[in-house]
Structure 1
Amino acid sequence: MIVFLVFASDPDPLQDFCVVVDDSRIRVFVNEKFCKDPNLTTADDFYFTGLNIPRNTSNPIGSVATLITADIYPGLNTLGIAFARIDFAPNGLNPPHTHPRASEILIVLEGTLYAGFVTSNPNNRLITKVLYPGDAFVFPIGLIHFQLNIGNTSAVAFATFSSQNPGRINIANAVVGSTPPLSIDVLTKAFQVDKDVILDLQAQF
């Protein structure tokens, strides 16, 4: 019997940090990024501002997630972390999605969120909690999860991820909004619904 072990996490860094610099003349190249000379780094390379600014939630789902990764915050490179600000309009939804490469910790700053995740097969058990300011909730790596603003005011939460590139797969977009579309036969059998229902869902995308 052959056993394969798979480790799905960011590699351990081999130096203190690798601040991203857009300069192909640099010889150190880590995580597909060129590293700034450590002796030339400053506090500004590890500093980020603007998380206090409300985002525009006037969209069909009433929420917006602003993901901060090494692409816009150079000091995060090789540290195995990323974070996000999530803004919710009243009744706004951060729709069911997964992060294939990271676990997530959500911390509520303002408002009241109904949050949860679904365990893997065979049980697909729904685990949920109503969260208030100061509350935190963890979403294990790869599991489908969501947050819904159930309060009468806007809500704000911060999320941190255990990968510098957590990835995101919106379930609805992936299943009924893929390009090119999934076969109608596949979707009607998977959801056990009429063809017209699938066509109507696909039309939304």
Structure 2
Amino acid sequence: MRSVTKYPVTVLLFAFACSMASASDPSPLQDFCVAINSSTSAVFVNGKFCKNPKVVTADDFFFSGLQIPRNTANQLGSNVTRVNVDLLPGLNTLGISLARIDFAPYGVNPPHFHPRGTEITMVAEGTLYVGFVTSDTDNRLFTKVLNKGDVFVFPVGHIHFQFNIGKTNAVAFAGFSSQNPGLITIANTVFGSNPPINPDVLTKAFQVDKKVINYLQKQF
């Protein structure tokens, strides 16, 4: 007890450092670890096998194609192209990734969250209405209208969305503090799980008629 009282700042800083460390990918212990699906002559690090450094090439750190518009002819009117460790092996252990998000007029990237990464989004074309909800008891909503060149950040693990409020297509680029931030889309997860969540659970949770739940589950 005496040591804690004597060094309160040190204890607090240590606790803060530990909390920060648990909120992002582990720091790399080597220059790079290019992901490979084969275990032959490879080392398993942070969820991926590492390619032998002697056979690594520049192509392992390269991806081309984010300049190409994506097809947004779907129910949501949006399309997300993720450049994570599965698409760009050189990202392995580096703790970053990228995505391009295309929006049709009034298209939406629906409420979702990334369990392993903070997201920072920049609008390249168009106008987006974006926001996230806090995890405290107040469920505070932070929103902003973003125009070309504007940037907004979504804290790790928070439900957020992007909605094209313009009459033209919109494009945004998002960076993540994880090589594989993960994606949990609320509607898909709740109403489209496999196997489905018991309708009685969802009826009670959402306080609606079971027919509404059955309808929503059929949509997903």
Question: TM-score with structure 1 length normalisation?
Answer: 0.92
Match in the other structure for 1:69: 84
Q: Which residue of structure 2 lines up, in the alignment, with residue 128 of structure 1?
A: 143
Whether 2:40 is the aligned partner of 1:25: answer yes
The correspondence for 1:89, drawn from 104, 113, 123, is 104
Q: Is the 8 A contact 1:106 1:157 kept in 2?
A: yes
Q: Deviations over 1:69-89 (max 9, x none)?
A: 111111111101111111000
- Amino acid across the alignment from 1:143: H
2:203 maps to a residue whose letter is T
Aligned to 1:96, what secondary structure does the other structure show? strand
1:42 is the counterpart of 2:57 = yes
Residue 23 of structure 1 and its aligned partner are, at CA, apart by 4.3
Letter of the 2:111 counterpart:
P
Structure 2 partner of 1:163: 178
C-alpha separation between the residues in 1 aligned to 2:219 and 2:98?
30
- Asked if the contact 1:26–1:34 (Cα under 8 Å) also holds between the matched residues in 2, the reply is no
Shift of 1:45: 2.3
Structure 2 gap segments, 5+ residues each:
1-14
1 CA distance for matches of 2:197 and 2:52? 47
Unaligned runs of 5+ in 1: none
Q: Aligned partners of 1:35 and 1:107: how far apart in 2?
A: 32
Counterpart secondary structure, 1:163: coil
Cα distance in 2 for residues equivalent to 1:204 and 1:22: 35
**Of the two, which has the highest radius of gyration?**
2
What is residue 11 of structure 2 aligned with on the other side? none
Q: In angstroms, what is the RMSD of aligned CA positions?
A: 1.7
Aligned to 1:114: 129
Percent of counterpart pairs with the same letter?
A: 67
What is the CA–CA distance in structure 2 between the aligned matches of 1:203 and 1:19, rounded to whole Å? 41
Q: 1:183 aligns with which of 189, 195, 198?
A: 198
**Cα distance in structure 2, aligned partners of 1:86 and 1:130:** 16
Asked whether the 8 Å contact 2:61–2:90 carries over to 1, the reply is yes
- Map residues 133-144 of structure 1 onto 2, 5 A cutoff: 133-144=148-159
Which has the higher mean CA deviation after the structures are superposed, 39-48 or 134-143?
39-48
